Structure 1
Amino acid sequence: GIHGKETTPFLLAKIKDITGGDSLASNIQLVYNNARLAAKTAGELVALAKN
């Protein structure tokens, strides 16, 4: 019965429970890496738009 925007939090909570919390640090790093990549991509898009 999980749909839409509820899916990711549900899955992350299940994985955290299954791993005894060990997955939490990995998930946090994944968020940081995604943000870093998004910022780099945005910077490249700005540079392309200036040409």
Structure 2
Amino acid sequence: MINEDVKKVLTECMWDLATCSNNQPNVIPVARQTHEIKFKQINGK
């Protein structure tokens, strides 16, 4: 479960994902919405 304070930081701040390949930078914006992720247990695992 995501803490409410963490949700606030994630949705109010600008986030970028940066990578570099062959000495060429690549920066993309990251989505600012948060969603609860729920996992379903399958076959008892």
TM over 0.5: no
Relative to its length, the structure with more strand (as a share) is: 2
Q: Give the TM-score of the pair, scaled to structure 1.
A: 0.35
Higher relative contact order (CA 8 A, sep 6+): 2
Q: Give the TM-score of the pair, scaled to structure 2.
A: 0.37
